[in-house]
Chain A
Amino acid sequence: MPVPVMTVPGEQSESLSGAAVRAAGLRKTYGGGETAVHALAGVDVAFARGEFTAIMGPSGSGKSTLMHCLAGLDAATAGQVWLGDTELTSLRDDQLTALRRQRIGFVFQAFNLLPVLPARENIVLPMQLAGQRPDPVWFDDVVARLGLRERLGHRPHELSGGQQQRVAIARALLPRPDVVFADEPTGNLDSRSGAEVLGLLRSSVKETGQTVVMVTHDPSAAAYADRVVLLADGRLAGELTDPTAASVLDALRDLGA
């Protein structure tokens, strides 16, 4: 069972090479002066390879902000982020973009797909942007696991919400990224489709060793993860390993959420 690793900012440790993503002294401040909002107020966190982690916390605690900074979608105010051995905060926009399309997968809560492209094109889009051809065997495998074979020619508006999320997951998994980030991927789904999506994420971790980091509000969704990281007021507020819906609920209640 992976162990959470805390580090001192700036310290380079051999033992961390096992982490897929880690952040040190991560701060994100919106605005300035009197009205400054410290969305992240110094976060040190690491996510091991092949681990399924859920990030939880009260609304406004900085979960989404943390994920955006870890995924190179947004620039941190201070601190550093490593994806494997690559330090993200020093990269130029082009380098970040290339990194996103090759080494990071995304699943958002909604609006995951480009309306003009059919499902197949949506799935291979990041690889095509990188100028790569998907491995057909792997493509068939991913599509089969997500049950999308019959849906590949459909445009997003011809798919149900659950199907759209599955297409997004297929897209995230296809390039075999270092890590898949998911921000409330089941937020818009009913409990059955939600369970389906979570099961698929879970099995991709189990069967192919994919690293997954997921933000969620739902304790039963968090129960699919190996570990839960708790956030409050832009700081780490504890963590749970092998969470269950009940233990997550307890921990959240302790945070006052």
Chain B
Amino acid sequence: MRAVTLASIRAHLPRLIASTLAIVIAVGFVVATLVLNETSRATVLDAVGAPYVGADAVVTSDDGTGLDDELDRIAALDGVAAVDATWESGVQALLPGRTGQQYLLAESVADAPALRWQVVADGELPDAPGEIAVSERTGAAVGDTFPLTSFAPDGTERSSSVTVTGVVDLGGDPTSGIYGRVWGTAEQLRAWGAVDPTELRVAGADGVPAGDVVQQVGAALADRQVLVRTGTEQAEVEAARLTGDTMALTAVLLVFATVAVLVAGLVIANTFAVLLAQRTRELALLRCVGATARQVRRSVLGEAALTGLAASALGVLAGIGLAAGVSAVAEAADSPVPLSGLSVPLVAVVAGLAVGTATTLLAALAPARGATKVAPLAALRPVDPEPLRSRGGVLRLVLGLLLLVPGVLLMGVGVALADVLIALPGGALSFLGVVLLAQRAVPPVVGAVGRLAARLGGVPGRLAAGNATRNPRRTAATATALLIGVTLTTAMVVGAASTRATAQAGLAAQYPTDVIVQGDGTMPASLPGRLAEVDGVVAASSLTAATVTGPDGEETGVSGLDAATAAPVLRSTGDVPIPAAGEVVLPWWADSSWGIPAGGDVTFTAGGRTATLTALYGDVERPTLPVAELAALAPEAAVDTVWLRLADDADHTDVIDQVTDIAGAAMPFAFVTGMANERAAIDSVLDVLLLVVTGLLGVAVVIALIGVGNTLALSVVERRQENGLLRALGLTRTQLRGLLAWESALVAGVAALLGVLLGSFYGLVGVASVLGSYGELVLSMPWLQVGAIVLVATVAGLLASVLPARRAARTPPVAAIAG
């Protein structure tokens, strides 16, 4: 039988390779994820551990108090060549080319050359107070001089001028992009407010192993509450602190990899089923000439194991290649993700091979069992397609419903209680049920849509509709693989759209103004106009201010709001109502200090004039009344605040910079605040997340589409005689290609359609259960994107038919007779 297995693999090799492409991709995904994770860990270790790898021992304590008292004791030890205390502090500096002060992390450089870990890109490390080295993030260059503000422990500010002597390259340190860093001498750092060192780094004498140094230092400090580690250990500790997030990312990636593997398993199972169905006669012939059922099964499984292993090996290579590519791109693009070089852990290779081979074997199990059941007589009669109402079908139906019904109920409870921890298992259960039931649901839908295709596509359309439903199991399995990918993608897209809408609505209600420019006193008259003209500002409204006497006889500041200009500026008037004539919006504090109920009358007086207004309450800082009424009450009221609304597609950071510059030039103490940046940040975070997740799920969709192409290619082989007959009877090549295109589009389109419906449902349920507890939920259906998903999947299905169709079109008409 081994000879048969090998001969069979050889004979079907091209087809097997094509069909295991799914496994290659899925394994590649898994391996790339693991390799990138390891690479990132190694990179972080390299960068974060840089201060420690040169040190033989590192001494840390909970708060660092009194560590510097031990310097002399440690330095005196036999095995110690040098010891250095690290001092840290925070300072603010007006960096060259910037208009505002920046927060910088300051750190001391060691005196001993052995303990200086900083890699200098330009210039040299500082030697004296007043000299500093900077990280590249600061943008400063050697020779630059700028003012720097430091804070004493008691909070008093001190300004001094510093000169840059060197620029430090921090390599792949993931924190290097967050804030700028500066280095000075230890003396300088103490002057900048550092009280206690954060750690002591010790260099051992020549030839003394790190372990001994640690032991000596540990013994010397036995009386103190300190931790002594080797430099390598300390580096690991520091790296672990930072890579916690990366591990979470890896976990998420592995979830997607699991989806890819699952879909690949479905595709492989289907491919094997088709391959074996085509070989029913061959297998039956083996049975006829005396092979036992066991032998046939072993032969089939052996074939699966070998192809699975080969495909997994290819997948491992592909994954490593992919990781190398991503790492190279990340490094070249200076991305904040810590990736440089490539570290391939053995576990990634082993896991890749194991997952791929096991998936292939598992996927081949059911078809192999079916093949074993082939009666020897099957060699002598044509094969009937398996009826749908088999025992396995009933089992599937029952199991599917058993999963679906409670799953949906759980999801309902999860939405009602707004508890994602209830909805999530419900979603998982019901989706498994859906996958099982798809076997039964897909063929009728394909049939129904097929009747439509038959009307549109003429004879090829009609034949395609018939072909797509002639083997319901195969069609269902092919469609299910695609359905999984499309469902998950759609759920993400719909979920993200609703999350965005909910977050933006919440933000708009809470902070209805994009940008608020507040002056320190009266604004120059030209300023509001100039702010309104800034590119990206779509609406502006000026608020006047005056001081009047409130109902309690105390003076109070009030604002005048122009309803006509304010309405288009505010994104929501839910929390900040616009006062109509005769109304005033009071801040919440007025309720308790003035004791005026909503709807009550408030009287303000100024210079003998009075105004009595109806009270409303809202999120305002000062009582706010219509600008005309304030002008009547206090004619001296002048503009002190401008509200701006920014265009949704504007670069908000850029616009705010311009606004800050203009306001700052006109009024040095102008204060610019607003939610525009947060709004844009939420959008861009969601956009990036969505892009990444869609890309990852795209892998599953691609695998499923390979499955569509595969099934079709195998059907083409199977229907060679039939296609020959069609050609003999007058079907042109183009029509034959059209037939396959219709068939493929039909299966892919139906899978996409069902997937989008399911995915929308899951997406909305997910959002409702996750965000339901955070207040008002805004459901948003991204019709355009969802439509695009259906379109893309269908068109991709069409493309998947191109190669099989070319092959089919080459079928000569004589094939009808020759077989």
Contact = CB atoms under 8 A, between A and B. Distances in A.
Interface string B548-589: 000000000000000000000000000000000000000000
A43 B146 CA distance: 102
Contact of A102 (B384, B727, B730, B732): B730
Contact of B732 (A73, A94, A126): A94
Interface centre among B470, B721, B817 (most CB of A within 10 A): B817
Nearest to A100: B730
A129 B731 contact: yes
B729 interface: yes
A129 B725 contact: no
Contacts of B459: 125, 128-129
A111 B466 CA distance: 17
Contacts of B238: none
A106 B728 contact: yes
| Most B C-beta atoms less than 10 A away, residue of A71, A97, A108, A111 | A97
Interface stretch (A114-122, A133-141, A227-235, A238-246): A114-122
Interface in A47-106: 64, 68, 71, 73-74, 93-94, 97-98, 100-102, 106
A117 B732 contact: no
A109 interface: yes
A6 interface: no
B817 A108 contact: yes
A73 B721 contact: no
Interface string B452-471: 00000011001100110010
B817 A129 contact: no
A97 B727 CA distance: 7
A183 interface: yes
Given A97-B733, A100-B728, 11 more contacts: A74-B814, A100-B813, A101-B729, A101-B731, A102-B730, A106-B728, A114-B725, A114-B726, A115-B470, A129-B730, A130-B730
Contacts of A125: 459, 729
A186 to B, nearest CB: 15
A100 B729 contact: yes
Nearest to A64: B817
A68 B470 CA distance: 30
Contacts of A98: 730, 732
B466 A183 contact: no
Contact size class for A? 20 to 34
Given A97-B732, A100-B728, A125-B729, A108 B814 contact: no
A114 B459 CA distance: 12
Contacts of A112: 725
B90 interface: no
A97 B730 contact: yes
Interface string B728-745: 111111110000000000
B401 to A, nearest CB: 31
Interface of A: 64, 68, 71, 73-74, 93-94, 97-98, 100-102, 106, 108-109, 111-112, 114-117, 121, 125-126, 128-130, 157, 171, 183
B729 A126 contact: yes
Contacts, number: 75
A112 B725 CA distance: 7
Interface residues of B, number: 27
B202 to A, nearest CB: 82
B814 A111 contact: no
7 cross-chain pairs, A with B, having the tightest CB-CB distances, nearest first:
A101-B730, A116-B466, A73-B813, A129-B730, A97-B732, A100-B730, A126-B729
Contacts of B816: 73, 108, 111
A76 B419 CA distance: 75
Given A116-B466, A116-B470, A117-B466, A183 B729 contact: no
B817 A68 contact: yes
Given A97-B731, A100-B730, A114 B817 contact: no
Contacts of B727: 97
14 contacts: A73-B817, A94-B734, A97-B732, A97-B733, A100-B728, A102-B730, A106-B728, A111-B721, A111-B725, A114-B725, A114-B726, A115-B470, A157-B384, A171-B729
Contacts of A74: 812-814
Contacts of B817: 64, 68, 73, 108-109, 183
A121 B731 CA distance: 14
Contacts of A100: 728-730, 813
Contacts of A114: 463, 466, 722, 725-726
Nearest to B809: A93
A171 B726 CA distance: 13
A215 to B, nearest CB: 10
A255 to B, nearest CB: 23
Contact of B463 (A68, A93, A117, A157): A117
B392 interface: no
Interface in B677-735: 721-722, 725-735
